[in-house]
Chain A
């Protein structure tokens, strides 16, 4: 006879949403297990290598949908290991977004003012550098200079990068070999382990069922460490509290697959997905004009030719982040590096002259100027158009390659407002970078794998209206007490900036409610852990907000 393993709190996923919950609950005294579908790698494992099977393909996941593809993390530490570490707070107007019926999309209790203390808690826990111009890479500097030349402003982007350790290798998506990127492997996760939490890598959660005593049974498969298409025998763990944080491309899929055993899901599960309004433009720079018009030079007489150098986004244009502007016309434009592999196929030539725009001889010519590319990342307000169809047999996608590539069930048909916003942002990037012959600019094509997001959001969003939100304003799944969602799924709308900071702040904000629910289920756990390094000012900063988050 076998007995099912038991724990107090079962956390699904080890990215921002999962790691933060695991740390606080373990530190508060709960028995915590984290199931992570990807491998557990650390700095010494992170390779500078594009070969399939290297860390590059093991730790991230590319899921092609119908009209939208998602690039996400697949490893212990989740998105924090593969992201570019930009950590801006979301602008104030984002939280005031309304539905067509004039109702607030975000819960009334969440605004920039009420979230700022939680942002502060994150900033105390994950070292974030307010970058200055000496940290800004050639690519970021070029974007700043071009913005300035066009009469715009430009800001160095706050980032979770330790400037003393960063060597500007630009391999951030393969994991940081130098521990310069302050991923969760360096703060919340070791702190959670120190308090007894256990992490089980290569455990892919498939479904959840409810036990007679009100606890939950979470079923998982074991994934082969090299070929993720290969599944070993799985198992199940019983837990009094389940925290779902598998990412906005996987959390709704697990819930959809659980519906037969768990009961009816709220309408918002698997709906209202947002790609954070993301889209990339590629500028191919005229090196001579960069020197002549912008007055930029670097070592060895070069003007730019530095696409390979850097550390992800270092400079953004925030001129359109103005709450007085109409909805769907507000966006940010951020310099970004995207590596070869998946990062070049979608770039289009400026003048295809009747031929194909993204492959063929002209595209090859464009690739020969790759060192002079500058990628600009747009984050507009989309209309939460994404919907997940019925889940695949296992996981969040049908895997094609041994790692990295799968076919998912997301459908995304961009609304007119989204298309207009992208067109507006495209035109502005073109205006800035084609001015005075600096570059030729084209958008990435949506014709190949649909639109493309590296920041999936809102597939199980929080809100006040049960008809349109999957979660209440404390991240608890409606109709399923004791199940909480703390990842990007919970973020209700596009943010117009990189979302990691907001996902993390919302996860921090969800903890008091999870602790209360755990206590009600007989778990001896307390709220109030300091930051992972022992700092306590963040804890004091949120004290006044606790009563509203621990209400019945």
Chain B
């Protein structure tokens, strides 16, 4: 739940059901969680799967300190990071990934994989992800592949001169 809340902070989505606590509901459409961020993080290929318990523990420690600092009174029925409202989750993550934070590299990794779950479905074959309606690839408008699972774009050019060439261009097309 804590990791879902982190991924949802990076690419927010709409709640999966009315009682969804991990997903804050800060944006319409599926976010990183619906895109498969947890599946990606838990895959050992990422190199972070064995450290996920540490991420959860640390993030909740930071959330507890943050709540105390800002005078928030978090709901004890969910982990402290999940209890933070979206704007506060965002502010805490912003601090953790800011230049100079001693744990920055650690948290940046988690943001990278949260983002990759959404923008490239790195835990799935791309064509299968598109066919399954992957929310990130769909929102970005990535088109379906053609035959053989390959993309081809027969139309690709405006096909006409659109600027003057630099006067110092060599015959081979390089700068002089």
Binding site for B on A (CB under 8 A): 47-54, 64, 88-92, 123, 128, 130-131, 133-138, 141, 144-145, 147-148, 152-158, 167-171, 177, 227, 229, 296, 298-299, 305-306, 308-311, 315, 318-319, 321, 332, 339-342, 344-345, 355-356, 359-361, 363-365, 367-368, 370-371, 399-403, 405, 407, 447-449, 497, 501
Contact = CB atoms under 8 A, between A and B. Distances in A.
B45 A52 contact: yes
20 contacts: A48-B151, A49-B126, A51-B125, A52-B43, A52-B46, A54-B125, A133-B157, A136-B162, A137-B157, A138-B156, A153-B164, A167-B151, A168-B152, A339-B120, A340-B142, A359-B9, A361-B12, A364-B11, A400-B47, A400-B109
Nearest to A446: B99
Contact of A344 (B26, B45, B115): B115
A324 B170 CA distance: 18
Contact of A141 (B121, B158, B169): B158
Nearest to B122: A52
A364 B12 contact: yes
B166 interface: yes
Contacts of A137: 156-157
B165 interface: yes
Interface string B149-176: 1111111111111111111111011111
A172 to B, nearest CB: 12
A318 B115 CA distance: 34
B74 to A, nearest CB: 21
Contacts of A54: 125
B172 A147 contact: no
Contact of B153 (A47, A134, A169, A402): A169
A154 B162 contact: yes
B139 A148 contact: no
B153 A341 contact: no
B80 interface: no
A368 B28 CA distance: 11
B5 to A, nearest CB: 13
Contacts of B131: none
A53 B139 CA distance: 24
B127 A49 contact: yes
B151 to A, nearest CB: 4
Given A49-B127, A51-B122, A298 B155 contact: yes
A52 to B, nearest CB: 5
Interface size range on B against A: 35 or more
Interface in B64-101: 90, 93-94, 97-99
Contacts of B111: 345, 359, 448
B152 A49 contact: no
Residues of A contacting B: mostly: loop
B163 A299 contact: no
A107 to B, nearest CB: 21
B158 A156 contact: no
Contacts of A318: 166, 168-169, 175
Contacts of B43: 52
B125 A405 contact: no
A134 B130 CA distance: 31
Contact of B120 (A138, A227, A341): A341
A345 B115 contact: yes
Interface string B113-147: 00110111111111100000000100111110100
The 8 closest A-B pairs by CB, nearest first: A154-B163, A148-B163, A400-B47, A50-B120, A130-B173, A168-B156, A144-B162, A89-B174
Contact of B126 (A50, A311, A315): A50
Contacts of A311: 156
Interface string B2-39: 00000001111000000000000011000100000000
Contact of A50 (B121, B141, B150): B121
A61 to B, nearest CB: 14
Given A136-B158, A361-B26, A158 B174 contact: yes
